[in-house]
Structure 1
Amino acid sequence: MTSERHQRQPKGEVKATGTTEVIIPKAPDWAKINARWEAEREKTRERLRVVRAELLAALRALGVQEIEGQYDGYADSGNVQGIAVTPVGVTLGGLENRLEDFIWGMAHDLHPGFEINDGGEGALIWNVVEDRIDVAHAELYTARNEYSHEDI
């Protein structure tokens, strides 16, 4: 009986070196990888454009003038921490979850993977009256400066 490992075809060139076979992996096709990545990003951007238009109409109908959403992420996860609405007192009703998803999606589209490792944080401010979105984003990282002074 042959194991599954021996039935698979190697993903690369096989070269014999004496009594040992070495599989030399194929180089990644970076053009294809980048094209696939850009196609996915464009799908995401189109989805964000559609959601933005839907949210904009709903927010204007509620009389919302501005939205400010605070977000952060690190260690491979993150959240929208809060949403402030202007004028004060306007309730978002069932829009809050969609708005949180939109804020996170916008931040992630501008800074893909920011929630990895030390992470990042920021604020999205949406002037609903003018339909203008500004994002202030910070990437977080651990740094170390080391100094050594001997025999001075």
Structure 2
Amino acid sequence: MPVSRTRLAAAAGPLAAAVLGGLATDPDSRWFRRLDKPAWYPPPQTFGIVWTGLYAGTAWAAGEVLDRLGDRGRPFARAYALNLALNTAWTPLFFRAHRPWLAAAEAAVLTASTVDLVRRASTVSGPAAAVLAPYAAWTAFATALTTAIARRN
């Protein structure tokens, strides 16, 4: 079965977010290495592993919802695009601008946006909503982690 344009477009968003985020991330910078991080900060390799799975799931789930909605998918597509823009914005705020408090606030907005995506998806496809749920959980964790780093520094 050929892949629809809708699914390809849905997959392009997380791919772009991953590439842009990867380019902006600098865990080897002196600034980042000197940050006081909480004891529950995950091992560095965790982030790449988790984000790869989350981006793949997000692409599939968004494609599923948008395919099912067809012409009625514009509101979900807008919410999805906003979510990916928020997702992409966190990394330069934190790693490049060195603004952990601003990144924490942005992460909270991202989490709300992700919960909204889960809610929207749940009205269309239970499996898509279930696949998006870990993304919402991870962004909530990222908000807590970023806030903890901001407080300590």
With normalisation by structure 1, the TM-score equals 0.30
Per residue, is there more helix in 1 or in 2?
Answer: 2
Per residue, is there more strand in 1 or in 2?
Answer: 1
Largest Rg, 1 or 2: 1
With normalisation by structure 2, the TM-score equals 0.30
Q: Which structure is richer in relative contact order (CA contacts within 8 A, separation 6 or more)?
A: 2
